[in-house]
Amino acid sequence: MIGIKKIILTTVLFFGIAVVSFAQNRQLKQFDTAFESLDFNDRIAALKKINPEALSANDKGNYYRLYAQTFYYNSEGDQALRYFMKSIEVYQNSGNLQKANEIKITVVEIKSLSDYYAYKDYQSLLEEVIAYAKKTNNTKLLRDTFKLKANCIIKEDTKKAINYYQLAIIENKKLKDTLFGSHLLNNIGLAYNEYLKKPEIARKYFKRVLPYYLKKKEIYYVAINYVNMASVMREENKLDSAIYYYKKADSLDFKNNRTNLKIILYTEMSNTYKELKDYKSALEYSEKQKVFENINDNKEITKAIRDIDTKYQTKENKLQISSLKDTLEKAGIVLIVLLLALIVFFLGYQNLRRKKKIAEQEQLIQNQKLENILQEQELNEIDKLIEGQEKERIKIANELHDNMGSMLATIKLNFENLKLRKDRIEPEDEQLFDKTDSLLEEAYQKVRSIAHTQNAGVIGNEGLVPALFNIANKITIPGKLSVQVIPFGLNERLENSLELAIFRMIQELLTNAVKHAQATEITISLTQHENNLNIIIEDNGKGFNPKNRNKNEGMGLTHIEKKTEQLGGNFSIDSTEGRGTSILIDLPL
């Protein structure tokens, strides 16, 4: 009887635990679904209602991940790290290495953004994930690690970081993740603006991703984009335009990472107002920044910001009354100053026109010089080609005369002897047959050897990359024109005809950039990844509208586009009038 009661009690207890576990797992899934729509306080309240010990192993790992993500979005990195490490431990113990490695990426990301950790502190963790991604052929994980690797090394080696972003883009194309691809383009823009100090190229990348963010209502990333555009304006010393973009970012309503972005935003606005010598506004946004640094409660933040706005609006009214009195007293002085300013302006305008004409003449002379250099380079290449062909012809003639001539004469004599003795062939004549057969085989091999020699190479022994460096060095003029070649992954020679075709296309695009676009900076990026070659030619020239391009003329672009299609690749143009041009060529290898 006691045994039956024990069995019943155990059964009830088992089913009770199962019901509780099922309810907890279901509650976690509901929370996970609604996670993005909740604010910090709502997320914490929901998580506290769930008992992690009642969850399955995978759900328990996800529970700690969501807890960490909640603190991460609220810019509490230390707390986030603690829960991320718990999640990794749970997933590894349960054998879910995929999830464990995905969270390791986030841990590396947090440490890379912290001043407390150096790259060497988390490099090994990152390399572990890269090795796992390659071993399991995990495209998504490999893409994420390439992006993260670029983020980690961007300060020390910006150009190498851009190459890793390009590798991530190649992997992302397989996944067709447009949002992630937009983030990668945004990061390349940051690299050009913040580290290479090329705001004109950065602007093209930021403008390229903004329409997608707006269309998909990715408000947080729209705000980030506006902040980045403001940074470009500051690099170009367009401070009023920078303030315009900062205010657009500030006007948006977003939740994720709100505190951190507001701190950055108000810090940069305060600094920009200082540069404008508007110290009142600089102080106002400095105080707003301190509010977000010290307060995490949303209601308190709203009240504090409202108090600051009210204070500065009252100060502004008082200043306007005082300023009106000063203006009336100084009206007479201002009138005299304006007259003097008009005279100075007129003289300055005349001087500016004269300088502009001189500059235009210098530019025309410079363009003619560059065109001559490019033509000379092309003639040199043609001369090398003709010289090489002539040498090959002489070599073939010598080979035919010295080897093939005597060999064929011997074969002819052997067959004449066989013909004369056809009615009385003796055993020793068998040797003559064998010798003749051997000579025929040797002649055949000689012909093959000569044919292979002919196809050995036209671009020369140097190869594609050295040839591009050579032409870049020849047309670069310090202070006037900079041509930069950035190769990545091209460790071996390509097939000769493909190398020659690529060289000719890039040579034509260089001519266009200098002669027609009047560019002063040109970058040629070549990235090889497995069986794919990605070529990007960017310039800071005057640009054009690709839709208005005349297909019958096209400055050689139509010919390059057709050649790319013949090679089985893709050709695209990203250009805006006054904003430069980027040409992308993807070729299969």
Number of domains in the chain: 3
Query: Residue 331: its pLDDT value, please?
Result: 54
Q: How many helices (H) and strands (E) does the chain have?
A: 21, 5
531 in the same domain as 448: no
Q: What are 335-390's pLDDT values in tens digits?
A: 666 667 677 666 776 777 777 777 777 766 666 666 666 556 555 655 565 455 55
443 in the same domain as 468: no
Is 572 a domain residue? yes
Q: For residue 278, with 0-12 CB atoms within 10 Å meaning exposed, 13-18 middle and 19 or more buried, which class applies?
A: middle
575 in the same domain as 483: yes
Is 584 a domain residue? yes
Least confident window among 261-270, 283-292, 310-319: 310-319
CA-wise closest residue to 166 among 573, 527, 539, 538: 527
1 in the same domain as 72: yes
Q: Which domain, by its residues, includes 583?
A: 464-588
Last residue of a domain, one of 454, 488, 504: 454
What's the whole-number mean pLDDT along residues 302-316? 55
- State both tokens at 22: 């099922």
- State both tokens at 521: 């900076």
CA-wise closest residue to 97 among 68, 132, 126, 122: 132
507 in the same domain as 398: no
Cut 0.75: pTM above it: no
Is 44 a domain residue? yes
Question: What is the spatial distance between Cα 323 and Cα 418, in angstroms, rounded to a whole number?
Answer: 121
**H or E segment and range at residue 337:** helix 331-399
Is 338 a domain residue? no
Is 574 a domain residue? yes
Which of the four pLDDT bands, split at 50, 70 and 90, describes residue 270?
very high
Phi-psi group of 526: left, alpha or beta (phi > 0 → left; psi -120 to 50 → alpha; rest → beta) = beta
Which of the four pLDDT bands, split at 50, 70 and 90, describes residue 172?
very high
Least confident window among 15-24, 260-269, 325-334, 475-484: 15-24
Query: Residue 7: its pLDDT value, please?
Result: 42
427 in the same domain as 497: no
Give me the chain's average pLDDT, please.
78
The position carrying tokens 């992308």 is 584
Question: What is the spatial distance between Cα 452 and Cα 435, in angstroms, rounded to a whole number?
Answer: 26
Does residue 490 contact residue 498 with C-beta atoms inside 8 Å? no
> Is the predicted pLDDT of residue 139 greater than 90, yes or no?
yes
Last residue of a domain, one of 96, 117, 138: 117
- Cα-based distances in Å from 355 to 360, 364, 379, 517: 9, 14, 36, 22
* Better-predicted residue by pLDDT, 28 or 316: 28
Using DSSP bridges, classify how beta strands 581-588 and 570-575 pair: parallel, antiparallel or unpaired. antiparallel
Q: What are 2-16's pLDDT values in tens digits?
A: 454 444 444 333 334
**Helix, strand or coil for residue 54?**
helix
> Is the predicted pLDDT of residue 286 greater than 60, yes or no?
yes
Is 187 a domain residue? no
534 in the same domain as 469: yes
What's the whole-number mean pLDDT along residues 197-204? 91
Q: What are 407-457's pLDDT values in tens digits?
A: 666 676 666 676 666 666 566 666 666 677 677 667 766 665 555 454 444
| Residues above pLDDT 90, as percent of the chain | 24
496 in the same domain as 403: no
**H or E segment and range at residue 501:** helix 496-515
